[in-house]
Structure 1
Amino acid sequence: MLSNTGINKVILLGTAKGPFRETTDRGQDFLCFNLVTTEYIKKGYEQTEHHEYHKIRVPEKLIAQDSLHLAEGQSLFIEGKIQTASYYDEQRVKRYSLEVVANRIDILSTIDINVLK
């Protein structure tokens, strides 16, 4: 028998871009970054790359618990849930954005900082 509840689960594998800290109005701390996923789409006889950028929010307790040290360019496996956030833009129009709130992060590769110099 099916229940009335839904499932809100996201699984992503991609590359981290631009991690930064953010504090909400309620005083909750998050680590935020974009995760770039790449897929190949066949157009005619050619394969073209399509990049998608996903905003990821990692609660401070998850970072402290797992001693995560995220850097740009790392390959990450993320599990979490989709959450909608609202805000008002400069013209006072209410806008919405989708975010992934992570509950599990696995670092699949590390970046050698000396290689980037």
Structure 2
Amino acid sequence: MSTLSNSVRLTGFLGAAPEVKFTDNEKKYVKLSLATNHFRKNDQGDRVKEVNWHPIVLWEQQATLAEKYLDKGSKIAVEGRLVSRYYTDKDGIKRHSMEVFVNEIDFLRN
């Protein structure tokens, strides 16, 4: 069970093309916005779709593959870990964000 302590698996569609970036020491990474759908029934019994957006980060070789093969609307499955980040925005307000740092990615057919 120790391998499950910080593990996330998601399957969904990209909301935009991969955004390529580099760290200060030139390490390549790609940011993705992944949409996952959840279906439930409302009080009237109608099926309702809820969409959740997840920030995804790919590093080095995976970043290069994502840049080359993925685009808006691509379907992928990822496995990774949650990473919590704290920062101060341009207005001086302290913010918190959660991202999924990917260990494994599968490119799926739509």
Q: Which interval holds the TM-score relative to the shorter structure?
A: 0.7 to 0.9
Counterpart of 1:13?
Answer: 11
* Cα 1:47–1:38 shift into 2, 3 Å: same
Aligned to 1:87: 87
Q: Deviations over 1:14-73 (max 9, x none)?
A: 001221112234543211110000011211211111000000000023344xx4421111
Task: Give the aligned residue type for 1:8.
Answer: N
Secondary structure, counterpart of 2:72 in structure 1: coil
Percent identity of equivalent pairs: 28
Change (3 A) 1:109 1:6: closer
Runs of 4+ in 1 over 4 A off after TM superposition: none
Letter in 1 for 2:28: D
Equivalent residue number for residue 115 of structure 1 = none
Q: Distance in 1 between matches of 2:98 and 2:25?
A: 19
Scaled by the length of structure 2, what TM-score is found? 0.84
The residue identity in structure 2 corresponding to 1:34 is S
In the TM superposition, residue 103 of structure 1 has moved relative to its aligned partner by 1.1
Counterpart of 1:60 in structure 2 is 60
For the pair shown, the structure with the greater C-alpha radius of gyration is 1
Unmatched 5+ stretches in structure 2:
none
Instruction: Please report the TM-score for the alignment, with normalisation by the length of structure 1.
Output: 0.79
In the TM superposition, 1:7-46 aligns within 5 A as 7-18=5-16, 19-44=18-43, 45-46=45-46
Corresponding residue of 2:101 = 101
What are the ranges of 5 or more consecutive residues in structure 1 without an aligned counterpart?
A: 111-117
Structure 2 CA distance for aligned equivalents of residues 84 and 25 of structure 1: 20
> How many residue pairs align between the two structures?
106
